[in-house]
Amino acid sequence: MTTFHKHNSLNSRQEHLLHRLYAEQQQFLHISPQSMQQIAAEFSLPLSQIEAVVAFYSFFSTRPRGQFDILFSNCTSCGYLADGHNLLLMLAEQLQVTPGTTRDDGVVSIDETSCIGMCDQGASLLVNGTPLTRLNADRIAAIRQKITANTPVTNWPREWFEVHEKIHQRSLLLSEQLICASALKKALSTSAEAVLATILQSGLCGRGGAGFNTGKKWQFCRDAPGHAHYVVCNADEGEPGTFKDRLLLHQHADTLFEGMTLCAFAIGAEQGFVYLRGEYRYLLGHLLSVLEQRRCQGLLGKHILGNAQFHFDIEIVVGAGAYICGEESALIESLEGKPGIPRIRPPFPVTHGYKGQPTVINNVETFIAAAHVVAHDSDWFKAVGTDHSTGSKILSISGDCRFPGIYEYPFGTHIQNILDDCGAHTVQAIQIGGPAGKLIGAANLHRTISFEDLPSGGSFLIFGQQRDLLAVHRNFAHFFAHESCGFCTPCRVGTQLLKSSLDKIASGHGTARDVSELKRLSDLIQHHSHCGLGHTAANHVLDSLQDFPQTFESHLKQHLTAQFDLDQALACARQIRQHHDTTHPG
């Protein structure tokens, strides 16, 4: 692989720290204190940094995991709607493993993990890092047999690992495979300024969720001073219910790399990265082979397509199980070989990104859309969508519908149309954009997918009338409490409190006071947290309090306002002691 710069998260053999730690974990099933010391020396990094990285990422462990390391996805689709949690308990019982532990003989460990991006594939798990889909009781029994017989995972039936990509609706991006290099050849026949102008005119905005104008982002980065500029593709796709980047990485990798190369040409970058979520490691071989093909075709490396001034290459860095690393500044920290703790912004990555240098970070879909924009032109793109939301959006649809899978629609499409297409007929609610997004009910089906109405990264989780929304909220609250990086108190403590409150209400011990506290706590988390995770972690509760109040009220303990008046109970004791609690605490 051609690499033009040396990065200090790499050792002398040009290996990324996360990859080195992953190899250690795979070989020895844990990362020991001695290994950490050795790796610190190899990378010339302080031991404390290695320890912090190992502690931060959920795919690393200081205690041995099983030779068969099984992680069930606990996202709403797999864990709750597809009954994944019960399948976990079933396998744990059959193999006599306590969930969350490794069996005494070291053969097998069973635990849960956050969404693995297989929401349209039925209940799913990772075995030694590889996704295994469409779980049911029969498959669980068959897995038990393989583990008991000590059959290596590589010899398990291939169909267990199949990921069926189902595309039900196509618009601009999925209707055609872009001809390899067509956009790049066109771009190189013009100028970097012309490419930027085309992207700006197209009105393309980021597809990762926040919707920032892509042309402006590229322009800011190009204009920012620095001794190197970088292009980063955010392929972390950790928002539960989202799996459209999985399809794009699998079927449109060449166009993705073309989009990244166009960006490099526009901003003057020589190095790019794809930050691939650890759960999608199974796609790594495919992505590397597409990169290698492009190098052979002169589309990456030095003097791209014979252009004396244009050198660019792409490296893939694989994450290790941390949702927060999808946040762009946390992603950069991770790329630099550190724990993924979000940076204080501003400054933003466009001026101070990777290694403190100007960096463009875009979602997979954004780069692919950019390649299409350049290959066709901005008018072709703008002809679809709305004035403020040009082009199309790819959705990941799962939950209570007949046809889960991938759907691409022009922006401006009504939610009701989408529900009709995917066969969702008795809808109680839809979570749009994942747990961090927006919960809507029947009164809002006339609304549209668009930046001006319901913006999102593209996840649609559908809940039928039979579903208990409180179970959904608990699932989301557990997710955020687990994924909070712990850096700031409002999020670290607040997400735990939110989880506990919802658990209490679900257990039938909640009071009306607990429900009013939910609102106060949610506001606090939303307004006082450091990064986007905290800002959005309580959205689902706030939406439900407003539109689905019965979700909580129906579980309250006899609808009481207070269970116990502490002040009243203490009054008598105060009288006896003849002093007041506030002046003499304790």
Ligand X SMILES: Cc1cc2nc3c(=O)[nH]c(=O)nc-3n(C[C@H](O)[C@H](O)[C@H](O)COP(=O)(O)O)c2cc1C
The residue ranges that bind ligand X (CB under 6 A) are 206-210, 212, 234, 236-239, 324, 326-328, 361-363, 366, 531-533
Residue closer to ligand SF4 by CB (options 372, 530) is: 530
With CB under 5 to 8 Å by kind, the binding choice for 534 among ligand X, ligand SF4, none is ligand SF4
Decide if 274 contacts 318 (C-beta within 8 A): no
Identify the residue among 267, 415, 533, 538 touching ligand SF4 (CB under 6 A). Answer: 533
Decide if 555 contacts 505 (C-beta within 8 A): yes
With CB under 5 to 8 Å by kind, the binding choice for 396 among ligand SF4, ligand X, none is none
Stretch that binds ligand SF4, among 124-132, 222-230, 402-410, 527-535 (CB under 6 A): 527-535
484 lies in the site for ligand SF4, by CB under 6 A: yes
CB of 325 to ligand X, least distance (A): 8
Site string for ligand SF4, 436-475 (x = CB under 6 A): ----------------------------------------
Stretch that binds ligand SF4, among 196-204, 485-493, 503-511, 558-566 (CB under 6 A): 485-493
Six-digit token pair at 345?
């912004």
CB of 369 to ligand X, least distance (A): 9
Q: Which of 462, 434, 500 is nearest to 115 (CA)?
A: 434
With CB under 5 to 8 Å by kind, the binding choice for 487 among ligand X, ligand SF4, none is ligand SF4
Residue closer to ligand SF4 by CB (options 235, 330) is: 330
User: d(Cα 323, Cα 327) in Å, to the nearest integer?
Assistant: 8
Give the residues across from 427 on adjacent strands: 464
With CB under 5 to 8 Å by kind, the binding choice for 530 among ligand X, ligand SF4, none is ligand SF4
3-state secondary structure 213-244: EHHHHHHHHHHCCCCCCEEEEEECCCCCCCCH
For the packed helices 214-223 and 253-267, what is the interaxial angle rounded to 10 degrees? 40
Site string for ligand SF4, 490-519 (x = CB under 6 A): -xx---------------------------
Residue closer to ligand X by CB (options 260, 324) is: 324
Stretch that binds ligand SF4, among 78-86, 129-137, 484-492, 507-515 (CB under 6 A): 484-492
523 lies in the site for ligand SF4, by CB under 6 A: no
Residue closer to ligand SF4 by CB (options 163, 491) is: 491
Q: Which of 62, 7, 45, 4 is nearest to 317 (CA)?
A: 7
Six-digit token pair at 485?
């990086």
User: d(Cα 129, Cα 71) in Å, to the nearest integer?
Assistant: 8
Cis peptide preceding 404, ω within 30 of 0 = no
Give one DSSP letter per residue of 69-103, joined into a string.
EEEEE-SIIIIIIT-HHHHHHHHHHHHT--TTEE-
With CB under 5 to 8 Å by kind, the binding choice for 486 among ligand X, ligand SF4, none is ligand SF4
Q: Which residue has the tokens 């116990």?
A: 564
CB of 458 to ligand X, least distance (A): 10
* CA distances for 443 relative to 9, 268, 447, angstroms: 51, 48, 9
Q: Which of 97, 91, 98, 104 is nearest to 143 (CA)?
A: 91
Q: Which residue has the tokens 């992953």?
A: 22
Decide if 475 contacts 510 (C-beta within 8 A): no
Decide if 452 contacts 388 (C-beta within 8 A): yes
Decide if 31 contacts 54 (C-beta within 8 A): yes
CB of 434 to ligand SF4, least distance (A): 15
Site string for ligand SF4, 90-129 (x = CB under 6 A): ----------------------------------------
Side chain identity, residue 32: S
**Other CB atoms within 10 A of residue 75 CB:** 31
Identify the residue among 488, 518, 521, 538 touching ligand SF4 (CB under 6 A). Answer: 488
Decide if 341 contacts 333 (C-beta within 8 A): yes
CB of 232 to ligand X, least distance (A): 8
Residue closer to ligand SF4 by CB (options 246, 530) is: 530
Stretch that binds ligand SF4, among 168-176, 287-295, 434-442, 531-539 (CB under 6 A): 531-539
- The gap from C-alpha 240 to its chain's centroid, in whole angstroms, comes to 7
With CB under 5 to 8 Å by kind, the binding choice for 326 among ligand SF4, ligand X, none is ligand X
Cis peptide preceding 346, ω within 30 of 0 = yes
Report 262-301 residues binding ligand SF4 (CB under 6 A). none
Residue closer to ligand SF4 by CB (options 66, 534) is: 534
342 lies in the site for ligand SF4, by CB under 6 A: yes
> Site residues (CB under 6 A) for ligand SF4?
324, 342, 484-488, 491-492, 529-531, 533-534
